[in-house]
Structure 1
Amino acid sequence: MAENDSFHHVLRGLGPQVEHRGEVIVIGLGRFGSSLGRTLVDMGHEVLGLDLDEQRVAEHSDSLTHVAEVDTTNVKALRQLGVGDATTVVVCIGADVESSVLTTAAVADLEVPNIWAKAMTEPHGRILARVGAHNVVFPEAEMGSRVAHLVTGGLLEYVALDDDFALVEMVAPDAIVGVPLGESNLRADHRVTIVCVKPSESGFTYADRDTVLDPSDIVVVAGHRSDLERFADR
């Protein structure tokens, strides 16, 4: 496999499929790490948040299950906190590249089976993958790409599934309003598929051949990027 192809898999988070168990460890409690940790807690997971900054640790003592002030580049310190027993560790250190890489390498030395790491640039991401991260994410770049699709078209939400396939949320285009979806020839004429629909007065539900859309209905559509853009323009 070529290096660029390998990196593409890392970018898209296609590391080994690991069934998570127990506490999630989040290293780095900046904006990204703290938001990730709080969301995991809201989802019902126990979260141990680690950071070298005493103030950050104190700020998140109430929102995360456990927090600790520690030098996360130190393998011995991580082992004492039980990081080696974790299934999933997320390294959320971004701007301090040296600390990010050394921390990821330390976690890898502890043989954690599911290591996620935040990268700021492609070279940063390549290094993280080489020192042991199973999955590398680029939150700033991915957010920028997503927002670009939202501000330049008629989309309400955009989720890339790979380089050329996505799920988008949009108001139902006029071309498919008022007729059953089974008669709209979506796949033949537009090369897209409506996955679900949200009528104006209720929540999301499945879309089927008999579904008739109103002008104010919201639809979630799957397809290739260029096909989705043309469909949204309608």
Structure 2
Amino acid sequence: MVDRRNDPVVVVGLGRFGSSLAVELVHRGTEVLAIDSRPKVVQSMAARLPHVVVADSTDMEVLRQLGVPDFYRAVVAIGTDLESSILTTSLLVELEIEDVWAKAVSRDHGRILERVGAHHVILPEHDMGERLARLLNGRMLDYMGVDGDYALAKTRPPREFVGVPLGQSGLRRKYGVTVVCVKGQYDEFTHAASDTVLSYGDVIIIAGKAEQVERFTELP
């Protein structure tokens, strides 16, 4: 299987999300072709992005001239201009880009992007709001949805599991989650084992279905 993680990426739309993404990719050593229709925006990003151009991403011929069909991955980061977002996404799919990511500003927008062929649809504002709500409502220190209803969370061990080896705790049977890693108060994260004993000062990473993860982090 070919590793495509370091392949160049096209980023279309240089608003806050698109520009942050493009700059971070460049910082990580990924070649980026950044495209925006606004000359002032492109000019402001020229010092931070080696390959940034003013272009109309809704014009198929322009995309061909820029060499976009040669890219494996593309991200449509256009926000408020829904027509441009949808049309750009459909053109990238038509150009047979194998991995198209598209930003949506609403669930309805996201559904349309999926229908025109986007392989991944992201809702940054919604996802961040949902994540923050989870962090505020429980003892979670961090949270990440993995796929569908599966999640990882960083939290503190509930009282009933402190001082008991994980293999004897019945944690998975009772709550449907697994302790993946443990970090002591002055240590680094290590893999959890059946003989691992949790302490009050520990931080743990748990995995399981989102509903079960949330329920576990609400235990006293």
Q: TM-score, normalization: structure 2?
A: 0.90
Confirm or deny that 1:166 pairs with 2:157: no
Secondary structure at 1:172 match in 2: coil
Equivalence for 2:81:
96
- Among 75, 98, 107, the alignment partner of 1:122 is 107
Check whether the contact 1:75–1:109 (CA below 8 A) recurs between aligned residues: no
Equivalence for 1:211:
196
Pair 188,47 (structure 1): closer, same or farther in 2 beyond 3 Å: same
Amino acid at match of 1:175: E
Pair 152,134 (structure 1): closer, same or farther in 2 beyond 3 Å: same
Equivalent residues, number: 218
Check whether the contact 1:20–1:88 (CA below 8 A) recurs between aligned residues: no
- Among 165, 173, 178, the alignment partner of 1:188 is 173
Equivalence for 2:60:
75
Pair 105,229 (structure 1): closer, same or farther in 2 beyond 3 Å: closer
Equivalence for 1:85:
70
Gaps of 5+ in 2: none
Equivalence for 2:132:
147
1:99, CA displacement in angstroms?
1.0
Equivalence for 2:32:
47
Alignment of 1:50-65 (within 5 A): 50-65=35-50
Equivalence for 1:225:
210
Equivalence for 1:12:
none
Pair 42,207 (structure 1): closer, same or farther in 2 beyond 3 Å: farther
Secondary structure at 1:155 match in 2: coil
Check whether the contact 1:21–1:87 (CA below 8 A) recurs between aligned residues: no
Q: TM-score, normalization: structure 1?
A: 0.85
In structure 1, what is the Cα distance between the partners aligned to 2:50 and 2:157?
Answer: 42
In structure 1, what is the Cα distance between the partners aligned to 2:91 and 2:175?
Answer: 50
Identity %: 47
Secondary structure at 1:50 match in 2: strand
In structure 1, what is the Cα distance between the partners aligned to 2:45 and 2:184?
Answer: 39
Amino acid at match of 1:43: R
In structure 1, what is the Cα distance between the partners aligned to 2:183 and 2:49?
Answer: 34
In structure 1, what is the Cα distance between the partners aligned to 2:54 and 2:196?
Answer: 55
Check whether the contact 2:6–2:30 (CA below 8 A) recurs between aligned residues: no
C-alpha offsets along residues 151-189 of structure 1, whole Å, 9 cap, x if unaligned? 111111111224432111102222222222222221122
Amino acid at match of 1:24: V
Confirm or deny that 1:113 pairs with 2:98: yes
